[in-house]
């Protein structure tokens, strides 16, 4: 039998020949989208720190104070001795933001989706997920052992067709989607999906990893104003407002909201928001929660500070969207639905070459390849932050315009 390394070398060669071999690169991040690869300075348009809060003085100060007072590590899982009092404050803020009875924080967004889906569904059940759903949502479904079906991307009619055919054969049913799709930047029809979930006695899980804090109209239930203008209201908040039952004055408990604290919040961890009964159940059933060491107090304190900044400085919530709109308007691209703007290159080599050319000009724009995206749709993925400077966006646009990549993308 061949040695393990011999087998793995063959697989690595195959990946390299297909343009799909991954090699981690070392980067040092600074404030205002600054980044260094060794001594090479770059402006990053690949980071998910949409509000620039990971380098905000108040956020860093909160983390440092927590370390000074509470030490670094949590020491154990949340159900042993790791459930620091800061968890309660953070979860209250998240529940307030999402308009739910309760929330639960996990070690990561990935662990959240793995834990929630596998805790709620089992072999007798059915899970339907969007064809472009994130790997964590798919893996949580596979871990559950439930029967699963994929519906066409953002296609409510296809989801309803699958529900009508399969729902009667299963005990429970869960529909899963992202609110903002991480590789395409488009938004899900959350209200419509919720309605068909309600009609078919199903639950709807929405992962808001790339939507939280970007274009929020209200932060923590407060009216937000920016320069005399209302901020754009995100799709999830509009949808949630539509699925409230007026006679109850609260969200229907069939809606489950997950997300991450590692992107717009600039910290680490994941969360789920829903009914108090749901959260109580997850405390006893979600294995990634039960068997993971708790987050350090410094991370909890930083996340709390970030959410407070979203509340007190609502203009942050619009700035990233404004930068994405400016980029698209300069290149004649359709108006973006989020702070993520993909530019389809086609084959892997083409995307890698474009990313290399941008890096040589001082920009980091990641090339996204299969299996993260479907074959033939390798792309440049531009992400915009509240801290990007207009002059850097203009310079980036000039490079894209000369290369003609935007025209190729629109044709695709």
pLDDT of residue 244: 45
pLDDT of residue 218: 36
Q: Which of 210, 275, 322, 323 is catalytic?
A: 210
Beta carbons of 341 and 185 less than 8 angstroms apart: yes
pLDDT of residue 246: 36
How far apart CA 84 and CA 165 sit, in angstroms, is: 46
Q: Which of 48, 77, 166, 226 is catalytic?
A: 48
Query: What is the CATH number for 39?
Result: 3.90.1150.10
How far apart CA 113 and CA 127 sit, in angstroms, is: 13
Whether 178 is a known active-site residue: answer yes
Tokens of 205: 């899980």
Tell whether 32 and 69 lie within a shared domain. Answer: no
Quote the domain boundaries for residue 283. 57-312
Q: Which of 56, 84, 98, 134 is catalytic?
A: 134
Tell whether 33 and 96 lie within a shared domain. Answer: no
Whether 48 is a known active-site residue: answer yes
Tell whether 169 and 274 lie within a shared domain. Answer: yes
Tell whether 179 and 43 lie within a shared domain. Answer: no
Q: Which of 49, 91, 160, 178 is catalytic?
A: 178
Tell whether 292 and 404 lie within a shared domain. Answer: no
Tell whether 62 and 205 lie within a shared domain. Answer: yes
Whether 21 is a known active-site residue: answer no
The pair phi, psi for residue 222, each rounded to 5°, is -95, 150
pLDDT of residue 1: 77
| Domain-embedded: residue 45 | yes
List residues bridging with 260 in a β-sheet: 270
Whether 134 is a known active-site residue: answer yes
Tokens of 293: 């060491």
Q: Which of 84, 98, 263, 406 is catalytic?
A: 263
One pLDDT digit (tens) per residue for the chain, 412 residues:
789 999 999 999 999 888 788 888 888 888 888 889 888 999 999 999 999 999 999 999 999 999 999 999 999 999 999 999 999 999 999 999 999 999 999 999 999 999 999 999 999 999 999 999 999 999 999 999 999 999 999 999 999 999 999 999 999 999 999 999 999 999 999 999 999 999 999 999 999 999 999 975 333 333 322 333 333 344 455 444 444 443 344 445 789 999 999 999 999 999 999 999 999 999 999 999 999 999 999 999 999 999 999 988 888 889 999 999 999 999 999 999 999 999 999 999 999 999 999 999 999 999 999 989 999 999 999 999 999 999 999 999 999 999 999 887 776 6
pTM score? 0.89
Backbone Cα Rg of the chain: 22
Q: Which of 46, 144, 182, 254 is catalytic?
A: 182
Whether 210 is a known active-site residue: answer yes
How far apart CA 82 and CA 257 sit, in angstroms, is: 24
Tell whether 282 and 383 lie within a shared domain. Answer: no
Tell whether 80 and 225 lie within a shared domain. Answer: yes
Tell whether 45 and 80 lie within a shared domain. Answer: no
Q: Give rounded-to-5 percent helix, strand, coil for the chain.
A: 45, 20, 35
Q: Which of 130, 207, 217, 313 is catalytic?
A: 207
Domains in the chain, number: 2
Tell whether 224 and 87 lie within a shared domain. Answer: yes
pLDDT of residue 216: 55
pLDDT of residue 224: 27
Residue bearing tokens 């604290």: 261
Query: What is the CATH number for 146?
Result: 3.40.640.10
Residues 24, 25, 27, 33: is their CA dihedral positive or negative? negative
Among residues 312, 331, 347, which one ends one of the domains?
312
The pair phi, psi for residue 237, each rounded to 5°, is -65, -40
């Amino acid at each position: 039998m061949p040695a393990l390394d011999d087998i793995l070398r063959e697989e690595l060669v195959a990946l390299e020949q297909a343009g799909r071999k991954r090699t981690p690169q070392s980067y040092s991040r600074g404030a205002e989208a600054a980044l260094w690869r060794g001594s090479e300075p770059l402006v990053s348009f690949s980071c998910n720190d949409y509000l620039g809060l990971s380098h905000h003085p108040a956020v860093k100060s909160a983390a440092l104070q927590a370390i000074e007072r509470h030490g670094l590590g949590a020491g154990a899982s949340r159900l042993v001795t790791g459930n620091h009092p800061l968890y309660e404050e953070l979860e209250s803020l998240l529940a307030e933001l999402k308009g739910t009875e309760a929330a639960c924080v996990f070690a990561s967004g990935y662990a959240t989706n793995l834990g929630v889906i596998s805790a709620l569904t089992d072999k007798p059940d059915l899970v339907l997920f969007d064809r472009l759903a994130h790997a964590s949502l798919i893996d949580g479904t596979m871990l559950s052992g439930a029967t699963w079906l994929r519906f066409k991307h953002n296609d409510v009619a296809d989801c309803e067709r699958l529900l009508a055919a399969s729902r009667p054969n299963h005990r429970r049913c869960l529909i899963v989607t992202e609110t903002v799709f991480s590789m395409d930047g488009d938004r899900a029809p959350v209200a419509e999906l919720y309605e068909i979930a309600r009609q078919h006695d199903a639950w709807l899980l929405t992962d808001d990893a790339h939507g939280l804090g970007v274009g929020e109209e209200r932060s923590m239930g407060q009216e937000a104003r920016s320069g005399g203008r209302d901020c754009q209201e995100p799709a999830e908040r509009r949808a949630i407002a539509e699925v409230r039952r007026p006679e109850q004055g609260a969200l229907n408990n069939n809606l489950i909201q997950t997300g991450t604290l590692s992107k717009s919040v600039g910290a680490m961890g994941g969360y789920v928001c829903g009914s108090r009964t749901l959260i109580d159940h997850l405390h006893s059933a979600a294995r990634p929660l039960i068997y993971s060491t708790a987050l350090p107090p410094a991370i909890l304190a930083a996340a709390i500070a970030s959410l407070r900044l979203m509340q007190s400085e609502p203009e942050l919530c619009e700035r990233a969207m404004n930068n994405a709109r400016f980029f698209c308007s300069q290149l004649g691209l359709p108006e973006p639905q989020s702070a993520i703007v993909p530019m389809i290159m086609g084959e892997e080599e083409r995307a890698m070459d474009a990313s290399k050319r941008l890096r040589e000009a001082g920009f980091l724009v990641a090339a996204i390849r299969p299996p993260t995206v479907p074959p033939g749709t390798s792309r440049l993925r531009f992400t915009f932050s509240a801290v990007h400077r207009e002059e850097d966006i203009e310079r980036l646009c000039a490079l894209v315009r000369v290369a003609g990549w935007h025209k190729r993308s629109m044709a695709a």
